[in-house]
Amino acid sequence: MALRTRFTELVGIEHPIVQGGMMWVGRAELAAAVSNAGGLGILTALTQPSPDDLRREIDRCRSMTDKPFGVNLTILPSVNPPPYAQYRKAIIDSGVKIVETAGHKPQEHVDDFKARGIKVVHKCTAVRHALSAERMGVDAISIDGFECAGHPGEDDIPGLILIPAAADKVKIPMIASGGFGDGRGLAAALALGADGINMGTRFCATAEAPIHRKIKEFLVANDERSTNLIFRKFHNTGRVAKNAISDRVVEISARPEAVFEDIRDYVSGAKGRVALETGDIDAGLVWAGQIQGLIHDIPTCDQLVKRIVRDAEQIIRGRLAGMLAAPEPAL
């Protein structure tokens, strides 16, 4: 039983499983491993310090896989923004066929990618944002529930509601993100109207993820309560793993007079990178979702993808089909 969906057909992959773009994690080793396993691996453009470095990373990924993979380009408002147009040009010049966009006002980038025949998947945290992206001309939506790592938006809508609410209105293919990490989640996402799943935190706890083993073990040891919501006061909510740094950020932010400058030094991306690369759990923020409660091992990407698909198929073909075929009890 193959799990063929509109999304697998759109991007030419075997299994409806996508590795989300993650800062410092979305490198060639991981993206290629996911793509080789039959999913869709994603490089993170801004992990690379320059557009030329991104070109080299795309070439490196291509040397590791002949399967489809994509590149994430996240557009965030900033006083000194990265050269987004140059990163976009690097993606186009390198012949990438699939892009995951996210963030603030991506129209310029979407238009350019679409003009070059590139498939665009846009990450959204609300139905209204998904509909706006659909009108913008993207090819697919990644809808991100409140359980997710990263920025879940300010509406606090969990996937069990958000996914079917979006599926009721969005006409293009849609993948579900936030809280997915096993076959049960994939089967549930398909039942709720999605065409596949996007996983970030779960792929961090794999053999090929280019982060320190201690971080992977940290994710395995954590449970579903092991996250903190930060930046709530500043209307830019983020979900991160619970550690000394995120506890401190929550504590400072709770002060009535707190301003962002009070926590800026704690939340720098550079410190988060140190944590991921050295295994020092409390060196910086570690972005992770509630799916930590369902992570129990550190498999290869191939093992993980095969297991998720197998378990989802067994649920659909076995447990659910068996319920449908069961005779009604006698009165």
pLDDT digits (tens, 9 = 90+) for 216-263: 999 999 999 999 999 999 999 999 999 999 999 999 999 999 999 999
Residue 276 lies in a domain: yes
Residue 328 lies in a domain: no
Domain that residue 271 falls in: 227-287
- Round to whole Å and give the CA distance between 239 and 167: 24
> Are 318 and 169 part of one and the same domain?
yes
> Are 67 and 201 part of one and the same domain?
yes
Mean pLDDT, all residues of the chain: 96
pTM: 0.95
Tokens of 52: 């030329």
> Are 316 and 281 part of one and the same domain?
no
Q: How much is the average pLDDT of 167-184?
A: 98
pLDDT score for 299: 98
> What is the total count of domains within the chain?
2
- Round to whole Å and give the CA distance between 204 and 26: 9
Residue 327 lies in a domain: no
pLDDT score for 320: 82
**Residue whose token pair is 């706890």:** 205
CB contact set of 263 (below 8 Å; sequence gap of 6+):
230, 249, 252, 253
> Are 40 and 174 part of one and the same domain?
yes
pLDDT confidence band for 24 (50 / 70 / 90)? very high
> Are 231 and 315 part of one and the same domain?
no
Residue 169 lies in a domain: yes
pLDDT in tens, 272-284: 999 999 999 999 9
> Are 25 and 127 part of one and the same domain?
yes
Residue 330 lies in a domain: no
Residue 325 has pLDDT above 70, yes or no: no
Q: What stretch of H or E contains 32? A: helix 28-36
- Round to whole Å and give the CA distance between 90 and 16: 27
> Are 235 and 175 part of one and the same domain?
no
Tokens of 143: 């809808």
Residue 219 lies in a domain: no
- Beta bridge partners, 119, equal 98
CB contact set of 309 (below 8 Å; sequence gap of 6+):
3, 15, 17, 38, 183, 186
pLDDT in tens, 53-84: 999 999 999 999 999 999 999 998 777 899 99
Q: How much is the average pLDDT of 159-170?
A: 98
Residue 330 has pLDDT above 70, yes or no: no
> Are 160 and 40 part of one and the same domain?
yes
- Beta bridge partners, 199, equal 19
> Are 125 and 171 part of one and the same domain?
yes
pLDDT confidence band for 328 (50 / 70 / 90)? low
Q: How much is the average pLDDT of 123-132?
A: 97
> Are 165 and 101 part of one and the same domain?
yes
